[in-house]
A and B are shown apart, each in its own frame.
Chain A
Amino acid sequence: NAGVTQTPKFQVLKTGQSMTLQCAQDMNHEYMSWYRQDPGMGLRLIHYSVGAGITDQGEVPNGYNVSRSTTEDFPLRLELAAPSQTSVYFCASSYSGQPANYGYTFGSGTRLTVV
């Protein structure tokens, strides 16, 4: 199993450009989430999904869109990138229902810089 795979690992965007951060998991997890982490701060939840076709907003959803057409994939879309979106983005997945014995599994992160 590859776990949670995030691509790309690094990205530099110009203000106003758009891009999609990819997240894929091969553990048949129903729950998936996107977080951002700014320097010296904790993780903030952007969007999450409890299953294919179902998404919901987290703490800081503005400027980001998500879709969940399959169980495996949960892409994060930035339509008009802004310097304030410079951050490290983490994707995570977990089993649904009762707390999983191993909690959320996190990817290794995408480091995004918007100039």
Chain B
Amino acid sequence: DAKTTQPPSMDCAEGRAANLPCNHSTISGNEYVYWYRQIHSQGPQYIIHGLKNNETNEMASLIITEDRKSSTLILPHATLRDTAVYYCIVSRFSSNTGKLIFGQGTTLQVKP
């Protein structure tokens, strides 16, 4: 599975959009991009995933560049409850491997 690079920390003002970048320059054609977050010491929570196209759900939007070497997770209107560690993961989860490897993630601090 391809490795990812994320900034260790970011700040965002409450009510503004939070844009979290992720580099995955060695991604291969059958690898998906996944985003999870972990609030305080709770279990991680799935946010969104994508292969090529941009994706949107009730939590966030995922923008994947055309060459698929990087992506951005967008929280459109960040709240204090969005303060968490955000993990970008690239995995061939669609095969029979069934595993996700987490990196260090980005600590997002949403400030009033």
Residues of A that sit less than 8 Å from B by CB: 4, 30-31, 33, 35, 41-45, 48-50, 56, 58-59, 88, 90, 92, 94, 96-99, 102-109
Contacts and interface: CB of A to CB of B under 8 A. Distances in A.
B100 interface: yes
The prevalent SS among residues of B at the interface is loop
Given A48-B98, A90-B44, 15 more contacts: A44-B102, A48-B99, A50-B96, A88-B41, A90-B43, A92-B43, A92-B100, A96-B96, A96-B98, A97-B94, A102-B46, A103-B46, A104-B44, A106-B43, A108-B43
A97 B98 CA distance: 8
> Which of B42, B43, B94, B105: most chain A CB closer than 10 A?
B43
A59 B45 CA distance: 21
Contacts of A4: 43
Contacts of A97: 94, 96
Given A42-B87, A103-B36, A49 B42 contact: no
B66 to A, nearest CB: 21
